[in-house]
Structure 1
């Protein structure tokens, strides 16, 4: 059916093309005479259309109904409306930028006396359209609100969100979406098929003046936050007008080269074909300079006659139109360029401009340009130097220098050092993006590979705390923490230089089917033990304790020996010894966030314990902490795990790759019980990280002979080899067997007895 429509379209085009000539061709937007170019006051240019044969259909997409170029003109009301997909109104289509502006409902959840009155969520199923990351934002409003925005990016599910609380209208300001009454989330490139959901922390029982939670994507130029809207109820939002949202579109699902090779490319005469951004699919056409028209029509773009409009020629008769351009020519007997700035001069007066005068003027101009360039270059160098000095002082460089003069802590790099190391921050060197910055791979002196993190902008009021945190991290002496090598403070945002870890993250290994066979239970248990010891070290061993605040599998790096390296301290907080908890803005990753911390905003060391408990469950189950692709009851991994434990059906959720190993069953049960303890809702009921680390070390030694401790008794090279194979070594360095008596090193700990006591 798709091929039949294509052939029909081409036949109509061949018949109609000779009829579209001259000025009519310049203004034509549709592919055939029978095609409508307007719906109400909305222009419909090809490749869009509303009649059969009037819009582009991807010949490689055999399900015709899935095309996104076919629109509908709804003439049921007083003013016709242009509709896209499932009843989505269209307000504007842009051929040049490849954008389409549509109007969408907002998501809202309204409450009355603590009970939900009505829930409405937004779902936009436009698979090959992507939200414009530069012209939209994600917004949530309310005084007791949290919102989720989900979609697909690079074929994988993407999730983000924000939350907002306020206790009175006096704390909220108009036109200020700052997290109090209103919050925003940014949109990355390539997001499609979006869903918006919104809910309340406590059903608005604590903020009676604000009955509704609201969330929506919206164009940047179309939303103004007003605090009076927080007092509106269900009726207000039910009748609220649709909000404009900008989507990007392209032609087909192939790039220019592939489409041109197959002969399906719509870019014809006098047009340029451009591939879209990597996060988008398809391509776009545009007219070459000097041409105009609709670049998607078979006849292509038509030449602009510049001689009939504004041009640089001295006189109209001097202008000659060319294909895509024009030239100015002097008539016979005259010389010059024929332009307004260099007009035609009679050849009989040529003696007035001898060569010597021309050469003198030209030489003077060259000298003047050279002098100007040198002065500009010197001034530019001074400006750059002053700007870097300003950033250095702003980011606390002077304070850092004073403190480094008393210790050998870390190296301060120059901005030029790190530009050279990353090839001027070339995108091919990006190895990670996170909530606190972008990470680049770089090579510094002695060919040492490093990871360079471009952090978020530092608050000038917190420079002292930022410097203290850098100094403490640089002095941490723990083999399982990614080592901070130095920093650069000459740029607007500080740059941090870390050691480079080459084997990816724990998240990568858990979610890569090809790596699972090598990712044995012993390796997973070893990683869990090392991470627990790191957190215990941060909480109890160092002089000023540190709360990590974003512990998750993506922040656990692995080297070639599967040694865990905890990373990303961008959101960490220092805890003074006389202060047990901190009141902070809630930061972290959904699925790992401590529920008590989310509700009270009070950060404690037990928040890290909860997040680590989720990591333990990931190691046991090989499932993501939060996934909207799973059934609703299984969406949150921590809650689903606790339910299975309560039903005594633990092995329904355990990863089959480790559950089939009978020798590890008892260890798996012990770790699962420990994870359950870490996930208690009240922080005071959870263990400390020191208790967790001790318990994991005990579990690790169950049924293990003293000579089987691979990671401490063998050299690193052979250690990696035997760790991957899962074979212990004898004392003489040769591979051993599992025969022999079971060790009695493992003894029941206080952890087991505390659980038995009903904790």
Structure 2
């Protein structure tokens, strides 16, 4: 009993100061003498009410309004209701307006959301653009241009059918009648337009569109959740998340004691300002000097030890007891860390991963299990300055290991759903191809699973084709080589890999360029391995608007020819330098595929081809590539070539390029005298594939049949 009593005394001596620190932390979130609560919401600095000294500047002023729900905080500058604040991550949760068209029992709603010039932008990581309707194309517009969009499909429209089929579950938009997509970076204002997908006029049908969090459709029900149905969409607002910075002209003074503040430089759509976080191991409000207080870590262990030694130094027995407690603490802490790692391992799909890997052949022995501490050091604790990419699946960081090796670390956004992480790991661990991004390993002991890849330094193909990156212009020879490398990688996935793999999201932003500007196919989160006997994959429609196979749209059946269609769009991008979807073109041909088809049908191919391509490429080559793209974009998937045939055709076109170069060097150019290769005659949509003759060539150290077009 005495030992038990002394044990409790020492624990109080050790933890007492810690509780005081914790209390100080949570009480020091607002400026002194300022109101900090509106209704049930606590208002932390830099936000505040009434007195200007209580908030950083006018953008952060909160107006506490009396509503039917009681006192409710509003961001006065943009007139949006606030539900909570997250000052540690520089985010604020708001209620965002919903767009409606032609809905019974409710008025049309076309709200204006404009935060240009403010420190606020919509969080790409936390929000999605969701649309609901029947055979509608809904465009998300910003600054007068379409920046995103999605297609909502159904076979027929009936109120009862919609009510029974449109629903939201744990995975978001499921079934027919709805679609969703990610937001562009740094969106500060938007509008939504709706168009009919089919020729039949269905403009009187009800449609909705909104920007909201991934789980806006969840409604609390007891200890769990219910999910909204179509009938519930008379709501006017849904939860959304804004990110903020402290603008340069703010009265807030930097640096802030105890906080790590980063000067965020401005871009085309991003305001310039400051963003702060408490230093590693500290918690509190990083926008108030001295508010960040240490609660864990080695400094706290020394503090606890100091208090314990002072309390028990009067007797040798107490010191021995303290050492025993210290040993017990180490053992318990070690077990807690081990249990936590086991928990995260299971939570992140470790058991599912083991099961999947035992049933497949792959390069598992070559895949490294990284330590979380090593990856945190490599990425400077996942510093926002290290971010090199964001997407619907997660965020990618650039890092450097202790041996100097540069890596890319993908931090998934799963919140309990790990199928995409497991799927990408299993697929990439089975691929060994020079034109597919290489998986180095993973980390399962973190709260959020991590994948580690080779670092690809020169960005993605889209940046070079569409003017975001002007460091180097892609020559015609480079474009042909990149097209051939992409085709070879897809041929490998479809026909050479141990089991066929459908990529399902081929687009120019998923084609990375290494230090020698060689193509690397990336982003396999939605890819699927199928059996050798299967001819298609039946699934909910997923992908990127502008690249999706029309057959996949209507039948929800993805085949290898669906990847061929997406590759055809990329091939047209390489030829024209145009975007897959562009608001610059007329209303009828916003789609690059439509624009290309019309030009081919009207014999105006060279009116849309990139000027650099016309200048550097031979006419016969350009026509041959255009005809190949035209075949890849056939509406009937069975009429499209396989990726093997595409690869061989591109190889032949590149050989034709070398032959032209050799003839020019000897001043013996005879366009009509080429015997070993003939491009497809003409470039109308009616041309068919030419006959094939046999031969071989080497692709990635494996000899495969080759055919030469005659």
Give TM-score, length-normalised by structure 1: 0.61
Contact 2:126 2:213 (8 Å CA) reproduced: yes
- Does the alignment pair 1:559 with 2:489? no
Matched residue, 1:670: 624
Larger Rg over CA atoms: 1
Cα distance in structure 1, aligned partners of 2:215 and 2:490: 45
Contact 1:128 1:249 (8 Å CA) reproduced: no
Structure 1 residue 606: deviation in Å? 1.2
Question: In 2 relative to 1, CA 175–518 (structure 1 residues): closer, same or farther, beyond 3 Å?
Answer: closer
What whole-Å deviation, never above 9, does each CA across 1:616-663 have from its counterpart, x for those lacking one?
Answer: 1111121222234655445322222222222222223221222234x5
Cα distance in structure 2, aligned partners of 1:475 and 1:243: 42
What whole-Å deviation, never above 9, does each CA across 1:204-246 have from its counterpart, x for those lacking one?
Answer: 999x9x94121123589987779997369xxx97xx7577877
Matched residue, 2:574: 619
Cα distance in structure 1, aligned partners of 2:563 and 2:518: 20
Cα distance in structure 2, aligned partners of 1:100 and 1:466: 32
Structure 1 residue 572: deviation in Å? 1.0
Q: Which residue, out of 194, 210, 217, partners 2:211? A: 217
Contact 1:144 1:204 (8 Å CA) reproduced: no
Contact 1:703 1:744 (8 Å CA) reproduced: no
Contact 2:511 2:522 (8 Å CA) reproduced: yes
Indicate the RMSD between aligned Cα atoms, in angstroms: 5.6
Matched residue, 2:100: 108
Q: Which residue, out of 376, 379, 384, partners 2:337? A: 384
SS of the residue 1:531 aligns to: helix
Cα distance in structure 2, aligned partners of 1:242 and 1:458: 24
Cα distance in structure 2, aligned partners of 1:194 and 1:377: 54
Structure 1 residue 192: deviation in Å? 0.5
SS of the residue 1:453 aligns to: strand
Structure 1 residue 571: deviation in Å? 1.5
- Does the alignment pair 1:128 with 2:117? yes
- Does the alignment pair 1:194 with 2:186? no
Cα distance in structure 2, aligned partners of 1:178 and 1:506: 30
Contact 1:482 1:565 (8 Å CA) reproduced: yes
Matched residue, 2:677: 747
Matched residue, 1:692: 646
Contact 1:163 1:179 (8 Å CA) reproduced: no
Structure 1 residue 165: deviation in Å? 6.4
What whole-Å deviation, never above 9, does each CA across 1:148-194 have from its counterpart, x for those lacking one?
Answer: 43437xx9985365857695644555887831366666667732111
Structure 1 residue 595: deviation in Å? 2.2
Cα distance in structure 1, aligned partners of 2:557 and 2:329: 54
What whole-Å deviation, never above 9, does each CA across 1:268-316 have from its counterpart, x for those lacking one?
Answer: 9xx999888665445799xxxxxxxxxxxxxxx9xxxxxxxxxxxxxxx
Q: Which residue, out of 357, 368, 388, partners 1:412? A: 368
Question: In 2 relative to 1, CA 374–618 (structure 1 residues): closer, same or farther, beyond 3 Å?
Answer: farther
Structure 1 residue 538: deviation in Å? 1.5
What whole-Å deviation, never above 9, does each CA across 1:490-517 have from its counterpart, x for those lacking one?
Answer: 4455433333333322122223477476
SS of the residue 1:702 aligns to: helix
What whole-Å deviation, never above 9, does each CA across 1:231-267 have from its counterpart, x for those lacking one?
Answer: 69xxx97xx757787767778xx51xxx4xxxxx545
Question: In 2 relative to 1, CA 194–365 (structure 1 residues): closer, same or farther, beyond 3 Å?
Answer: farther
Question: In 2 relative to 1, CA 189–666 (structure 1 residues): closer, same or farther, beyond 3 Å?
Answer: closer
Cα distance in structure 2, aligned partners of 1:637 and 1:363: 83
Q: Which runs of 5+ in 2 are unaligned?
A: 1-31, 37-47, 66-73, 156-160, 220-225, 277-287, 292-309, 690-710
Contact 1:141 1:164 (8 Å CA) reproduced: no
Structure 1 residue 741: deviation in Å? 4.9
Cα distance in structure 2, aligned partners of 1:46 and 1:686: 68
Matched residue, 2:464: 509
Cα distance in structure 2, aligned partners of 1:241 and 1:515: 43
- Does the alignment pair 1:431 with 2:431? no
Cα distance in structure 1, aligned partners of 2:170 and 2:192: 22
SS of the residue 2:612 aligns to: helix
Question: In 2 relative to 1, CA 390–576 (structure 1 residues): closer, same or farther, beyond 3 Å?
Answer: same
Cα distance in structure 1, aligned partners of 2:213 and 2:272: 22
Structure 1 residue 480: deviation in Å? 1.8
Question: In 2 relative to 1, CA 216–645 (structure 1 residues): closer, same or farther, beyond 3 Å?
Answer: same
Contact 1:501 1:558 (8 Å CA) reproduced: yes
Contact 1:149 1:196 (8 Å CA) reproduced: yes
Contact 1:409 1:475 (8 Å CA) reproduced: no
- Does the alignment pair 1:151 with 2:142? yes
Cα distance in structure 2, aligned partners of 1:96 and 1:479: 43
Cα distance in structure 1, aligned partners of 2:274 and 2:402: 42
Q: Which runs of 5+ in 1 are unaligned?
A: 1-24, 30-42, 49-55, 58-66, 74-81, 260-264, 286-300, 302-323, 325-356, 709-727, 731-735
Cα distance in structure 1, aligned partners of 2:566 and 2:227: 35
Matched residue, 1:20: none
Structure 1 residue 696: deviation in Å? 1.5
Matched residue, 1:719: none
Structure 1 residue 442: deviation in Å? 3.5
Structure 1 residue 602: deviation in Å? 1.0
- Does the alignment pair 1:610 with 2:565? yes
**How many pairs were matched up?**
582
Matched residue, 1:601: 556
> What is the correspondence of 1:297-696 to structure 2 with a 5 Å cutoff?
360=313, 372-392=325-345, 394-396=349-351, 398-399=354-355, 409-416=365-372, 417-444=374-401, 446-455=403-412, 457=414, 466=422, 470=425, 473-512=428-467, 515=470, 518-628=473-583, 631-661=586-616, 664-696=618-650
Cα distance in structure 2, aligned partners of 1:445 and 1:95: 37
Contact 2:597 2:685 (8 Å CA) reproduced: no
Cα distance in structure 2, aligned partners of 1:168 and 1:93: 31
What whole-Å deviation, never above 9, does each CA across 1:600-624 have from its counterpart, x for those lacking one?
Answer: 2211111111111111111112122
Question: In 2 relative to 1, CA 177–669 (structure 1 residues): closer, same or farther, beyond 3 Å?
Answer: same
Cα distance in structure 1, aligned partners of 2:200 and 2:655: 50
Structure 1 residue 593: deviation in Å? 1.7
Matched residue, 1:8: none
